[in-house]
């Protein structure tokens, strides 16, 4: 792998190229927000439809304010408490934001990632960097530089920054205000839970509620996403292949000879960190089926981000009673 320096990355971005950048969540495929060529290249490289909006990465709240026409007190409080970190805030966009970034929406997703190399790069870029996860559309997100290289068959240059600590994408949240009450709506669950964001609002004396939004507002919220290349079946805790083989093979009308079993770690931080790496490893190392075994603790709110991804990546789920859930 040819290692990119920060100044080389900056040079490529300024001339309209894309560069993969490390963040604490997953690697992003970045283009400079003031280069239409760079923005178009993000979509063509990812084979991403233009209706799916991009997140803009910035290194300071000041830059976020320039890109937003309505930066509210709640945006400010959440950004000050969580940035740099895995929270994307949706805000009304300013005219500096190209329509390609927002897919024509009047709002923009803004996030300050917690990775020293990317923060350094961002400090050298006017505006910011638009960056979706650095994977082909709908596929598993990359958590190492090697994943990016594989995904794009060496055609994308990577700012190498080690393995991602958090492992799943940022919490995406929007802010609304109506008759004296603030509402923070989580569109994509992640490291920052509703409970955590609620605590931040309470500590700041804000009259507001944080909740999870039900309806899909953008394709990242659609049912199938993050898909590995082989079937993924969720199975009950303490079960293994011999317990579930007949049920699965009958249901899928297929036989499997190389199943891989991943028992979810009991700690959600570890589970998030390992998730995408495991999905990739299993699909690449000769397995023909992934089994993900639940554990007794995996229903608490801290698991919401992981279940959001697993439910979109799964083919089917087998319940404790051996019934099937789509
Ligand atoms: O952790 C992350 O957020 C990673 C790293 C690279 O920063 N990025 C990422 O980008 O996950 P992407 O494009 O894969 O997911 C962005 C999500 C999508 O579900 C998109 O639809 C949603 O954010 N989004 C972006 N702008 C939005 C907007 N204005 N309104 C609603 N949703 C928006
Ligand atoms: Mg993505």
Residue nearest to ligand 1 atom 3, measured at CA: 170
Q: Please give the pLDDT value at position 2.
A: 59
Q: Please give the pLDDT value at position 304.
A: 96
* Structural domain containing residue 247: 232-325
CA 55 to ligand 1 centroid distance, Å: 5
Looking at the chain, list the stretches that DSSP marks H as alpha helix, in order from N- to C-terminal side.
6-14, 36-46, 61-67, 73-82, 99-102, 116-123, 145-151, 194-203, 241-252, 268-284, 304-313
Q: Which of 155, 171, 187 is the last residue of a domain?
A: 171
CB 33 within 8 A of CB 58: no
> What atom in ligand 1 is closest to the CA of residue 55?
25
Q: Is there an atom of ligand 1 within 6 Å of 230 CB?
A: no
Q: Is there an atom of ligand 1 within 6 Å of 169 CB?
A: yes
Specify whether 249 is located in the same domain as 167. Answer: no
CATH at 43 = 3.90.870.10
Could you tell me if residue 187 is inside a domain? no
Could you tell me if residue 177 is inside a domain? no
Specify whether 140 is located in the same domain as 249. Answer: no
Specify whether 113 is located in the same domain as 36. Answer: yes
Could you tell me if residue 195 is inside a domain? no
Q: Is there an atom of ligand 1 within 6 Å of 220 CB?
A: yes
Where b means 16+ CB within 10 Å and e means fewer, 3-38 reads ebeeeebbebbeebbbbbbbbbbbbbbbbbbbbeeb
Specify whether 38 is located in the same domain as 126. Answer: yes
pLDDT tens digits for the chain (326 residues)?
557 999 999 999 999 999 999 999 999 999 999 999 999 999 999 998 888 899 999 999 999 999 999 999 999 999 999 999 999 999 999 999 999 999 989 999 999 999 999 999 999 999 999 999 999 998 899 999 999 999 998 889 999 999 999 999 999 999 999 999 999 999 999 999 999 999 999 999 999 999 999 655 555 556 677 778 899 999 999 999 999 999 999 999 999 999 999 999 999 999 999 999 999 999 888 999 999 999 999 999 999 999 999 998 999 999 999 999 98
Could you tell me if residue 202 is inside a domain? no
Could you tell me if residue 183 is inside a domain? no
Could you tell me if residue 180 is inside a domain? no
Specify whether 244 is located in the same domain as 103. Answer: no
Q: Which of 171, 199, 214 is the last residue of a domain?
A: 171
> What atom in ligand 1 is closest to the CA of residue 57?
7
Specify whether 250 is located in the same domain as 167. Answer: no
- Number of domains making up the chain: 2
Specify whether 167 is located in the same domain as 51. Answer: yes
């Amino acid at each position: 792998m040819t290692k990119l320096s920060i100044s080389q990355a900056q040079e490529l971005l300024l001339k309209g190229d894309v560069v993969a950048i490390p963040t604490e969540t997953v690697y992003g495929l970045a283009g400079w927000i003031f280069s239409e060529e760079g923005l178009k290249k993000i979509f063509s490289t990812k084979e991403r439809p233009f209706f799916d909006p991009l997140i803009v990465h910035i290194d300071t709240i000041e830059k976020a304010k320039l890109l937003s026409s309505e930066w509210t007190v709640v945006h400010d409080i959440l950004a000050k408490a969580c940035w740099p970190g895995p929270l994307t805030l949706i805000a009304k966009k300013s005219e500096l934001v190209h329509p390609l970034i927002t897919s024509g929406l009047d709002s923009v997703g803004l996030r300050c990632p917690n990775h020293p190399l990317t923060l350094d790069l961002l400090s050298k870029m006017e505006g910011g960097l638009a960056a979706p996860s650095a994977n082909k559309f709908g596929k598993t997100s990359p958590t190492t530089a090697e994943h990016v290289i594989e995904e794009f068959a060496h055609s994308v240059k990577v700012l190498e920054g080690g393995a991602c600590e958090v492992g799943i994408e940022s919490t995406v949240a929007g802010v609304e205000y109506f008759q004296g009450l603030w509402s923070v709506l989580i569109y994509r669950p992640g490291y920052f839970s509703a409970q955590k964001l609620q605590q931040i609002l309470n500590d700041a004396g804000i009259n507001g509620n944080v909740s999870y939004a039900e309806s899909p507002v953008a394709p990242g919220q659609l049912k199938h996403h993050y898909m590995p290349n082989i079937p993924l079946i969720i199975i009950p805790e303490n079960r293994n292949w011999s317990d579930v083989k007949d049920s699965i093979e009958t249901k899928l009308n297929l036989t499997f000879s190389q199943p891989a079993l991943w028992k979810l770690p009991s700690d959600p931080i570890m589970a998030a960190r390992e998730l995408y790496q495991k999905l990739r490893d299993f699909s690449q190392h000769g397995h023909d089926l992934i089994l993900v075994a639940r554990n007794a603790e995996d229903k608490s709110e801290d698991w919401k981000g992981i279940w959001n991804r697993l439910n979109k990546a799964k083919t089917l789920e087998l319940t404790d009673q051996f019934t099937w859930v789509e």
